[in-house]
Amino acid sequence: MNDTTELIQTIARQVMTLAQATLSQQPEAPAPLNLAWIETSLRDLLRQIGAEALSHWLSAAQHTPEAERPCDCGGTLRYQRYRPATLLSVFGRVTYKRAYYAGCVCGRGCAPLDEQYALQPGQVSAGLSELLTLAGVELPFEHSQRWLKGFLLFDVSENTIRHETHTLGQTQAAHETEWRQHSQDPAWLQAHQRTPEPIPARLYGSLDAAKVRIEPRKPAEKHAEHETWRDLKVGCWYEVEPVPVRQQSTRQHAVTERGQLCQRATHIHYYCDLTDAKAFGELMWASGCAVHADLTRELVFGCDGAAWIWNLITTYYSQAVQIVDWYHAADRLQRVAQAAFSPGETRERWLEQTTAHLWEGRVTHVIQACAMLGTPCPEAREAETYFANNQARMRYDQYRQAGYLIGSGTVESSCKQIVTQRLKCSGAQWLVPGAVDTAKARAAWLSGDWTPVCTQWSTLPLAI
């Protein structure tokens, strides 16, 4: 047994003794004690020990104070005293002392220890910030407050959780602004062409939008009959991989039985914004440069039939393969059949034939089939226009032969995860900045690039 193990066992026995003494002084503790009370007591005791240990750690991490040190303004700072500071950490409130300098003509002071550990007295620590943001992107702020207390064993205000979540979203927005600047800089783009980073041979992109309820700001708007809903536009970049047979769902088995390669999205990167199509197009291009969408040999977009989506794709990635989501197209035929025919064999036969034509890329036959239903069926007329406008994006026989993914489920899932599950929680109303910041923070988390915020506040998790 090594010295570390012996020391841990000695401390554990001391903690157990202290926990027993603490529980014996709690009148609400059950008799006999159950395991839940013992666990909670030990957790709270270890939390208090952690707070004390962190306080001692920071206070001891001091060098002998220098009499003077240079100020950022070019002046001179002079040592004043050891000054206390408090921050909220994963163990609760922690107070420590550190050398403090002031006296420069600029009026600013500094504490080298705060700079060394990226501490912000009066604020939350980097480790706690990560936990608060994780809760904020997953749950409504008022719910995350109660949820966190169960894990941390101390209260954190709803506003603090909101602030940390929004701060991450704002940091993500700042990086997106940097991407925009790079993606419009000819010198950066030339250097980007020579990137040593691996470039995927085939990359997919998708765009979509979902409604978010925005709280009116003006008195006249607040008295209006209808709530204000705005489109949060969502995009994602991803690669695909085959789904092993043993992992395939019932729907995926059906895909395989149709003779189609069953694939799923991987390495997904999300981006989003509450803005117009033009500004979102700039973000699409900038985020695409960040994942080398502009350099990949084969870029494929799978989306629904919205005109603004295809306009942006044609503008920024004119050489990309454009595919209308197969399931949207097939569903359009289902709706036409239900509107044009009564239940029975005629409806089923028409739907089966037109769906087969669509599956084999015979879109002209589909258009003719809708046109033959004539004026009495508005759904058929709309479908005729829809298929005619997207005919070049419905070569499903060629897409399957090339091994392309022909569904847009990835971006639809993105909308559900970012908008439906977080921004459209029961009773949720947003101001535009809060909706955007929270959505961007959640996009960063969902992207799987959640870098732990350990020692530097500037080291934040980014979506790409």
- Higher pLDDT: 433 or 243? It is 433
Element (H, E) at 242: strand 228-242
Q: What is the mean pLDDT of residues 159-168?
A: 93
452 has pLDDT over 60:
no
For residues 336 and 382, membership in a common domain is answered with yes
CA 260 to CA 250: how far, in whole Å?
A: 14
Residue 139 lies in a domain: yes
CA dihedral over 76, 80, 81, 86, signed as positive or negative: negative
Contact present, 78 and 103 (Cβ < 8 Å): yes
Q: Please tell me the distance from the alpha carbon of residue 192 to that of residue 182, in angstroms, as a whole number.
A: 9
Whether residue 74 sits in one domain with residue 48: no
Is residue 48, in this structure, part of any structural domain at all? yes
Instruction: Count CB neighbours of 225 within 10 A.
Output: 4
Of 25-29, 233-237, 278-282, 344-348, give the lowest mean pLDDT range.
25-29
Tokens of 94: 């922690």
- At 153 the pLDDT is 93
pTM of the model as a whole: 0.86
The neighbouring-strand residues paired with 239 are 266
User: Does 311 fall in a domain?
Assistant: no
Q: Is residue 281 part of a domain?
A: no
- Give the pLDDT of residue 464: 43
| Best CA proximity match to 268, nearest among 237, 235, 227 | 237
Phi, psi of 69 (to 5 degrees): -155, 150
The pLDDT of residue 207:
96
Q: Does residue 97 lie within any of the structural domains?
A: yes
Question: Are 53 and 97 part of one and the same domain?
Answer: no
Task: Evaluate whether residue 38 is within a structural domain.
Answer: yes
- Domain assignment present for residue 446? The answer is no
**pLDDT digit string, tens, across residues 107-160:** 999 999 998 888 889 999 988 998 999 999 999 998 999 999 999 999 999 999
The whole-chain average pLDDT of the chain stands at 89
pLDDT tens digits, residue range 197-238? 889 999 999 999 999 988 876 665 555 555 688 999 999 999
Considering the domain architecture, whether residues 11 and 44 belong to the same structural domain is answered as yes
Q: Do residues 97 and 41 both lie within one domain?
A: no
Domain C-terminal end among 339, 359, 393:
393
**pLDDT tens, position by position, 284-298:** 999 999 999 999 999
Summarised one tens digit per residue, pLDDT across range 50-86 is: 999 999 999 998 888 899 999 999 999 999 999 999 9
Angle, CA of 28, 32 and 38, to the nearest 5°: 70
Q: Tell me the per-residue pLDDT of 379-398, one tens digit each, with 9 for 90 and over.
A: 999 999 999 999 999 999 99
Asked whether residue 321 is domain-assigned, the answer is: no
Residue at a domain's end among 152, 171, 188: 152
- Pair 36, 73 in one domain: no
- Residue 24 pLDDT grade (very low, low, confident, very high; cuts 50, 70, 90): confident
Q: What secondary structure does DSSP assign to 335-354, as a single string?
A: HHHHHHS-SSHHHHHHHHHH
Q: Is the pLDDT of residue 305 over 90?
A: no
Q: Same structural domain for residues 35 and 93? A: no
Split into its structural domains, the chain has a count of: 3
- β-bridge partners, 266: 239
Q: Report the C-alpha gap between 397 and 148 in whole angstroms.
A: 51
Range of the domain at 365: 328-393
Domain boundary among 16, 33, 58: 58
Which 3-state string (H, E, C) describes 368-432?
Answer: HHHHCCCCCCHHHHHHHHHHHHCHHHCCHHHHHHHCCCCCCHHHHHHHHHHHHHHHCCCCCCECH
pLDDT of residue 453: 32
Cis peptide preceding 32, ω within 30 of 0: yes
